[in-house]
Each structure stands twice: as structure tokens, then as C-alpha cells.
A = this chain, B = another copy of it.
Amino acid sequence: MAHPVSPLALPMPALPPIPGVRVATGMAEIRYRAREDVMAMAFPAGTTVAGVFTKNRCPGAPVEWSRAALKSGKARGLVVTSGNSNVFTGKAGRETCAKTAEATAKILGCKPKEVFLASTGVIGERLPTEKLVGALPKVFDAATEAGFTAAAAAIMTTDTFPKASVHTAVIGETTVTIAGIAKGSGMIAPDMATMLSFLATDAKIPAAALQAMLKKGCDKSFNCVTVDSDTSTSDTVLLFATGAAKHPRVPAEGGPMLKDFARALNAVLMDLALMVARDGEGAQKLIRIDVTGAVTARSAHKIGMCIANSPLVKTAIAGEDANWGRIVMAVGKSGEPADRDSLSIAVGGVWMARDGGVVEGYDETPVVAHMKGREVEITVDIGLGKGKATVWTCDLTHGYIDINGSYRS
């Protein structure tokens, strides 16, 4: 089931090699024959790691494995599979993870707990462990520093375009690179979309500082993007730092010398997160929602996500209708503090409603023109405080129903 490339697709940048980070993809026949379904990465000794995982309360076995492995802060290998998510597989699923990590550790000469795992694909079926373990030596053998770029395409499932981003930062006077890839919002029938993202840098950063930055960056990027409000059981973001770059020592707690690195990391995360929204199932328009004047930033985020997840708002935008009544509805539905009579709403920078009523002499013309574009901007001012947040989503179209509801009928 091939879908046309999203009209919101962006060109893919070439990723420079991150010294010591070797990447390869290969076939293990996990679900289909003659399809690339394994992506592996090897890291040099001394690599630190940070990770952010799904908040779903029923996560897959690989999420639990990687979450536990994160405690040491060290990484030497990564194995990502598609076709089977190893979710809802009980004890067998945990064994698959242990065996995969052990086999990888043997190949790389490291401890199993230095191997990270992520999977996407069908739920509730046992992952064919022998096939996967059998394929690993050949895959790691083929791993090269040049393989990172190709991996962006290889981890696509029904993504319609590959997603990669690279930014540089300065630590001390040394330039370091952060490169990342992501897959998301595609779907392997009969399965849910899963967002996976893997980043690598040559910076030398203690795991605790790396984790703090990744967590903060994801909160402002991946956690501000929604396609359909559904949360996969396998979402995983991992950042590996090899330490090959020759910059001054970064203290465990990070601190001011990582300011520029944090900026660049946030830029990579934001690039990738927005690509996921741009490739949202059936997406025809990218929607940015700025919420200001909420009582807190957290409240602003909740209101923004409530607007972004409202089927009535999303279908209105698909219909190119600046239906601000539906936005009022979504603000009120969020349950967050809001006073109808202090609420203001703009679309495409044009204020339509101010302080609880329609703007005097409101002219719809520029708003209608804005709605016809590929990128729609909504601003909601709650008028109560200083809390603000920005979230992104896509519109809800027939394409979403086609992708998710029609494959059997």
C-alpha cells in the first residue's frame, strides 16, 4: 500500500559521518521477505547516551529494555527492527530483547546493557528471535560511517519521505556535529504509527547532562507534535555522543558551555518533529498553534494540544474554513483556566476575535487566502496570564481514513 509523497515533504539533507558511528541496514525476514527490516548502529567505546520514551502505560519490551539500559549512561550498539514491534508479547518478548542484546554485545565486544533496542510493527506476535539474531553479524559487518544517511530511508515504514537533520554547535572553540534521523506517522498494516528517532554527535558529554538536554529538547519538539492524539507503545528517541571531538571537558552537570550545543540539539529535534507532522497520515496542511496568555506554560501546552487534537478543528482546516467557533470550543474543552470574555483568536496573523467577541469590521479575505496555503498559523490569546506554548499538527482528511480504516474493507 503505497501512498503519494506528502505535499508538505521537505528535501532530505546529506548527513556527514559522525566519526566512529557505523550504521547499516539489512534483512532478517521478520515479517516480510526481501525487505530491509533491521537497522544497526555501532558506537566507539566511551559513547554516552540519553533517551526519551513513550509515555504509554503499555510500552513494548524494547522500550523497557532500553529504559533499563539507559541507567549506565553508556552505549556501544543499537538494533532497530520493523515489521514486529515486540509489544504485548509477555515473557517471550523480554527474552527476545535479552537474546538480541547478548548477540550484539558478542559481536561488538561490549556488555548487553550497552546495547539499545527499538522496534515498530505488528503488535502481539512473537518476534522471530533466531532470524534476527542470525542476521546481526552480517548487518554489523556492513556498517560504515557513511551508512547514516541511507538509514533514514531504510527505517521508513509508510512514511512518505525520509527524515534527517544536521546542525553544528561550538563547545569551547571546537565545532561538533549533531545528526539525526526519524521515522514517524507511517503505518504497517495492521499496526499503529510509531515515532522513532536516533541522533548521534561527536561531542563528549556526560550522560546526565546529555539526558537533561534531550529531555528538555523533546518536550519542546516531539512532545509538541500530534497527528491523531494516539500514543504509540514504542516511541523512542535516542541520542548517542561518541566523545571523539577534542573540546574542553564538560562537567557532569553540563552548564553554560553546552548552551550552543543545546541550541543545535533543539534545532535537530525540532526539524525532525516537524517532518513527522508534515508526514502525518493524510496531511495536506501543516498547522502551527501558538497559545499565549495562559495561566502557566503547562496550561498553554494543554490548550494547544487540545486544539491540535480536535477533529472538528482539524477537519475545518482541511476544508479551508477559518472556523474560530471550533477553536473556542476546543479551548473550553481543555478544562484549563479560560475566560470566554477575555479570549482572542487570530489566523494567519489576522485577529478575528478579541476579548470574547468578533473584531469590529472583521474582513475575512486575508484569512481565507491564508487558509488556502500549505501552512496554517493559529494564535490563541487566553488573556489570563503569561503562559505560552507552541504546538504543531496536521489537518484531518480523507487520506487519514483511507490509511487507517480501509485496508480490509
Contacts and interface: CB of A to CB of B under 8 A. Distances in A.
A228 interface: yes
Given A325-B122, A409-B318, A409-B320, A88 B230 contact: no
A324 B123 CA distance: 8
A365 interface: no
A325 B357 contact: no
A10 interface: no
A191 interface: yes
B353 A124 contact: yes
A42 B403 CA distance: 51
A28 interface: no
A57 B303 CA distance: 11
Interface string A321-364: 10111101111111111101101000000000101111000000
B58 A401 contact: no
A28 B118 CA distance: 62
B192 A338 contact: no
A216 interface: no
B329 A58 contact: yes
Nearest to A312: B230
B58 A319 contact: no
10 contacts: A87-B325, A124-B353, A190-B321, A228-B312, A230-B312, A233-B329, A316-B405, A318-B406, A318-B409, A319-B408
Q: Top 5 A-B pairs ranked by shortest CB distance?
A: A123-B325, A58-B332, A315-B405, A56-B332, A315-B404
